[in-house]
Amino acid sequence: MAMWQGAMDNRGFQQGSFNSFRSSSSDEDLMDIPGTAMDFSMRDDVPPLDGEIEEDKSHNGGGIGSSNRMMDFLEEPIPGVGTYDDFNTIDWVREKSRDRDRHREITNKSKESTWALIHSVSDAFSGWLLMLLIGLLSGSLAGLIDISAHWMTDLKEGICTEGFWFNHEHCCWNSDHVTFEDRDKCPEWNSWSQLIISTDEGAFAYIVNYFMYVLWALLFAFLAVSLVKVFAPYACGSGIPEIKTILSGFIIRGYLGKWTLIIKTITLVLAVSSGLSLGKEGPLVHVACCCGNILCHCFNKYRKNEAKRREVSYYFPLKTLWRSFFAALVAAFTLRSINPFGNSRLVLFYVEFHTPWHLFELVPFILLGIFGGLWGALFIRTNIAWCRKRKTTQLGKYPVVEVLVVTAITAILAFPNEYTRMSTSELISELFNDCGLLDSSKLCDYENRFNTSKGGELPDRPAGVGVYSAMWQLALTLILKIVITIFTFGMKIPSGLFIPSMAVGAIAGRLLGVGMEQLAYYHHDWAIFNSWCSQGADCITPGLYAMVGAAACLGGVTRMTVSLVVIMFELTGGLEYIVPLMAAAMTSKWVADALGREGIYDAHIRLNGYPFLEAKEEFAHKTLAMDVMKPRRNDPLLTVLTQDSMTVEDVETIISETTYSGFPVVVSRESQRLVGFVLRRDLIISIENARKKQDGVVSTSIIYFTEHSPPMPPYTPPTLKLRNILDLSPFTVTDLTPMEIVVDIFRKLGLRQCLVTHNGRLLGIITKKDVLKHIAQMANQDPDSILFN
């Protein structure tokens, strides 16, 4: 790695060679920051009168330097200096350096007094306290959302007369009139037809229930999209693409704010309850991040440092791992106390299979992996195409209409089929279920199912009428889920993708599992079965196939592998089925990667133009830093500031005429030897503050970034020292540095820009946006899709 050589004289480097290294329009070097235009017309912008200068000289002993009152007002922090504009990237190196300085100062002061020692201990403990609060709040909100969504989902079909706040299951728990076969029917729970026309039989009752189901779905969807549109536009979607980008250092003001948290929590319940093909697991990540961000503002070391609030991406120290574990522990304890699933367990889809899997079954498991990879690639391409159409056409201007149309289509097609009418979570739970003697589902309608003559074990099970009927209904459900999810994900309501993806895979897996089960039953003498599946044995578990299929489809969409297996274990508690899950997850990823490298969240990041550098992708092209830097050949020279020869008016003119978010500082325009880098925002705030609070600062005042004031002629206005806002150690590379190394540096250090030098002379600049554009260009993608720096 090339280090800065700004101290070298570099007399041999000619201007001609400098021009040979310049490139492209410098207007794209750094992000165009809206709202930073300044009004530099000041009423008191007049040089001081000679009498005032003479009076000042008499007080200070006269001399040339006595009239140059050095306005080093930055010894005291100025509000706003060191902060960032919206839609910009933080400087990880500067933020971490500031945090180390803060910690070093607290440690040194702790030896001076008891109060300072207490402050040091409280500062160290604040991280654990923050994790405790985040865990409690996140766990409580997760339980509240799940309970509310369950109740409102059942509200579409009826209401409990004993208490309207009970969902269907809770309403019938304490009923004395429930039979085993009709455990979901009790007199306390009334359908809408029973309430309206006092009967639940006949075609008219069916129409009434149908109408109320669609009406409630439209009402929930309308409330969700209206609240998002009016109060918190950032509450839509899953939030995971934006969270990944924010954790990488990007600033999106308000995305993790209190209004977003409140509206996302409410509208997530409404969206899930509407029956749309979406889930709540992805948006719950956004909710938890909002909780963390809001609570961070209660602690100074997190409120004032952008990098400390993001210690889970580029920087992931061991202490953060332990604190994350502690927060997860508190959240799990809170969720267990609330018991939202009603089964006294922490997992959403608890499974308990009684039959071990056989080695031969890896073949159908791999087939499910292939299906998951194909489905994932198909979904990503079609969903991104639809979302791009939404962004580039009139469709995007009518989010309420779009949501209502999709909701109406979903509800109308869903009601006739019991597997589409039920909530997606309930559907997955039923598909994962291993049929036992007490199950009344159509999926468990096997012949001779109550025959337990074989040692209490379930015998071989030929499928009954209910199973065949369920297979047709599940096949129709699969088609509907595949198609409607494409148009649902990305609408202006909270929408997750975990549950819909798992549902598609679980349906496909259950269909294949039942097929394998019947094949083994009727052809147990085949060579592939006779060695391990004897007649009368329960060999195949269709619920296991559903679980593996769910993992395969989720992996195909998200391209997760290790984390996917862990998530599936957390959701189901099925530890002994790790190998089938691993086989399906890896197969789905390989197949999906062969058809497209991006997962759904990375594709949406690229669609929105967010500046996210994927750490898993390798850059293998043989380009150099000089090929990417700005300016390029035949472009205007790079806009720079000199260290001690520019006036306030000169700097204000540059700020007004350019939109760059920062400027290199050089010794002089002739030498181009690098001194440091200063941010546009810090310059604006510092100059405004000096004009308001310091006497004598006018347009002709010299700005200098050196330690000492430059020699000035007599009777000149006071100089303005801005050394404290100058980054004296900007990261630099030489013009011949391979871009492979530059990309790696940007990824691992989280840089926002890097200066390019040749023998100590400044040649140009490479921003994160330039790197992303270059990567896109090398991959034959549209480089103009990168919108932010």
Tokens representing residue 333 in the block: 């304890």
Q: At what angle do helices 542-558 and 562-572 cross, to 10 degrees?
A: 140
Question: Checking phi first, is residue 63 left (phi over 0); if not, alpha (psi -120 to 50) or beta?
Answer: left
Q: Could you tell me which of 764, 763, 757, 766 has the C-alpha nearest to residue 6? A: 757
Dist. CA 29–CA 770, nearest whole Å = 7
Strands 641-642 and 662-666: parallel
Residue 209 Cα distances to 148, 195, 215, 253, 480, angstroms? 21, 10, 10, 44, 21
pLDDT tens, 50-93?
Answer: 334 334 433 333 333 333 444 454 456 677 777 888 888 888 88
Residue 385 Cα distances to 388, 392, 604, 607, 775, angstroms? 5, 11, 11, 10, 22
pLDDT tens, 176-196?
Answer: 776 656 667 788 888 899 999
Please tell me the predicted confidence (pLDDT) of residue 343.
Answer: 56
Contact at 8 Å (CB) between 555 and 377?
no
Q: Could you tell me which of 126, 116, 134 has the C-alpha nearest to residue 332? A: 134
Selected residue with higher pLDDT from 385 and 11: 385
**Cα atoms in the Cβ-side hemisphere of radius 13 Å centred on 744:** 10
Dist. CA 614–CA 610, nearest whole Å = 11
Contact at 8 Å (CB) between 92 and 307?
yes
In this prediction, residue 570 has a pLDDT band, given cuts at 50, 70 and 90, of low
Contact at 8 Å (CB) between 252 and 89?
no
pLDDT tens, 612-670?
Answer: 888 777 788 889 999 999 988 788 888 999 998 899 999 999 999 998 889 999 999 88
pLDDT tens, 655-711?
Answer: 999 988 899 999 998 889 999 999 999 999 999 888 888 778 888 889 999 988 888
pLDDT tens, 427-476?
Answer: 998 898 887 666 678 888 877 655 554 444 455 578 888 889 999 999 99
**Cα atoms in the Cβ-side hemisphere of radius 13 Å centred on 11:** 0
Dist. CA 3–CA 276, nearest whole Å = 55
In the DSSP assignment, the letter for residue 658 is -
Q: What percent of the chain has pLDDT over 70?
A: 82
Selected residue with higher pLDDT from 368 and 464: 368
Contact at 8 Å (CB) between 496 and 425?
no
Asked if pLDDT for residue 738 goes beyond 80, the answer is yes
Please tell me the predicted confidence (pLDDT) of residue 65.
Answer: 37
In this prediction, residue 346 has a pLDDT band, given cuts at 50, 70 and 90, of low
Mean pLDDT computed over 534-557: 85
Residue 541 Cα distances to 242, 551, 782, angstroms? 39, 16, 48
Neighbour count for residue 264 (Cβ, 10 Å): 28
